[in-house]
A and B are shown apart, each in its own frame.
Chain A
Amino acid sequence: MDALALWHGDAAAPGVRALHNMSAPPAMRISIRPLTVYSSPARAGSRLPPGYRCLARVDLEALLAQRFPGRPRNGACQRFAALTLLARGEPAEGLERLARERRETLEDGLREAAARLDPQTLGLPAFALARGEGAGYGPPVDPVAAIALLTRTAGAVFVAGRSPRLAGLERPLPVQRYLIPTGTPAPVQAVREGRP
């Protein structure tokens, strides 16, 4: 009787040629903690992953509340009208009149106004990643640049050369942070290892 049969306690298992110790299954669980760089308390507070810089923090609802105080902004037409005025840099007084237009007309107007904004002139990079987590710090951005950023973002990716799109702008948006890869290392004071 060979060792295999002895293990099974049965000599009638001649075809078995592999033993699985069930106390050690063939899968393992690894816990991975991403590596972080804390170069300064401010950086640690911003919770930025290493290799990224926050380009802008876009709080559209706060921008609208500041620019159009006390005016309704929940309907799609009101929002598109407000965004068009922001993009054109026109005064807030025209909001009610503009919001009475048909939705398609407002969408066309906003798309046209957004297309006129040149991200390069506004000092925006060619590319950035949008994160909708809301938390975290970031430099605020002026309303026109905010419109340029939001209308050229799709699938959490801002591309300056993209045609403006309005999907998602008809509803209140969470705060967006736009991150850009730095490409050069941040000054390192401590690299905290995230070994499992």
Chain B
Amino acid sequence: MAESGRSDPDYSEKIWRNSLSDNTGLPALVGRARTLSGETTPEARAWIAAYVDALIVPLREAQLPISGRRAVALCASVRSVHGALAALGRAQPLADAAYLALKWGMPQRAQGRRIADSVLDGVHRLALRTAGEPESSPWAAIRAEPDPVRRIALGLAAPESVVDRLALSQLVTDAFAELPLPERYALAWVLSPVFSARDRLTSATWELLAEPVARVLAFAEGGEQQVSAHRSRAGHWDYVLATVSALQREGHPQAAEIGNLLYTLFAVECEPCSPDRVVDRLSEWQALFAPQAWREAA
């Protein structure tokens, strides 16, 4: 608030000085805020510590890392903002005070970096979910998991009342955003039957998953197709063929499905990729999302 006041050209130095003088009552308010801040209950202090702790990972992922010292300062800021709100007679919950302290306490602003409110909103919401949760809680496990695809599996294993449709969709879109195109195809191929049986995604997320699945289906239905490619891609095509042939020789039960997926990546997306890596990822994720695996995790 002070920052915005100072940057306002109409808020002159004289007005600023007057507002700090005794007759405005501001010093009394500041004193009252300090007193109230010091009276924060142990439960509230514990929640604030948990909230700031839960902020660390999402802030780092949002490219807004904070140091340990900054985290301690943020705890104090939350208490101060909460005290100030109480002094102003605004009975706002602790979470609101935490958001205000986070929003105006980020060191990146002092470096001249603009921080989008939407980013802070997302980080704040994530931290609210995990703040005060025991370490065994699903959200604590999800936040602690660095692999975005494994996070989806953990979210799927959690009850819908804990990880709702919106949150699970967010996990899926986050994973999609982090993966290269060939692995997005693989993930969509693995996830679509899993979520088809459990209605836990938003329509927008379904559209995201459906796009690669529909492309593979259209390719598989299309019959023989002629592809014109630069000669430099001949090596990649040989690699694709060798991988598909190896799957067929081994008698892989899904050789045809995987083969069509690799053909689509080559012919439709013209995407250079390592077919072996795609096959490995498919195996890994199929094991991860196998029905017995997520039931056991639950």
Please list the residues of chain A having a beta carbon within 8 angstroms of any beta carbon in chain B.
Answer: 26-37, 47, 49-52, 119-120, 125-129, 131, 133, 155-157, 159-162, 179-185, 188, 191, 193-195
Contacts and interface: CB of A to CB of B under 8 A. Distances in A.
B198 interface: yes
B214 A35 contact: no
Nearest to B266: A32
B206 to A, nearest CB: 4
A34 B199 contact: no
A50 to B, nearest CB: 4
B224 A32 contact: yes
A34 B263 contact: yes
Interface stretch (B23-31, B54-62, B153-161, B188-196): B188-196
B156 to A, nearest CB: 13
Interface residues of B, number: 53
Nearest to A120: B199
B94 interface: no
Contacts of B257: 35, 50-51, 185
A31 B189 contact: no
Interface string B197-233: 1111111001101100110010111111111111111
B267 interface: yes
B241 interface: yes
A37 B255 CA distance: 9
Contacts, number: 150
B237 to A, nearest CB: 6
Interface of B: 165, 189-190, 192-203, 206-207, 209-210, 213-214, 217, 219-234, 237, 241, 244-245, 248, 253-257, 259-260, 263, 266-267
Nearest to A183: B193
B210 A29 contact: no
B226 A181 contact: no
Given A31-B224, A32-B224, A126-B206, A160 B229 contact: no
10 contacts: A26-B232, A28-B230, A29-B228, A50-B220, A50-B256, A50-B260, A125-B196, A126-B197, A126-B199, A183-B196
A49 B220 contact: yes
Closest 4 CB pairs of A and B: A183-B193, A49-B220, A185-B253, A51-B257
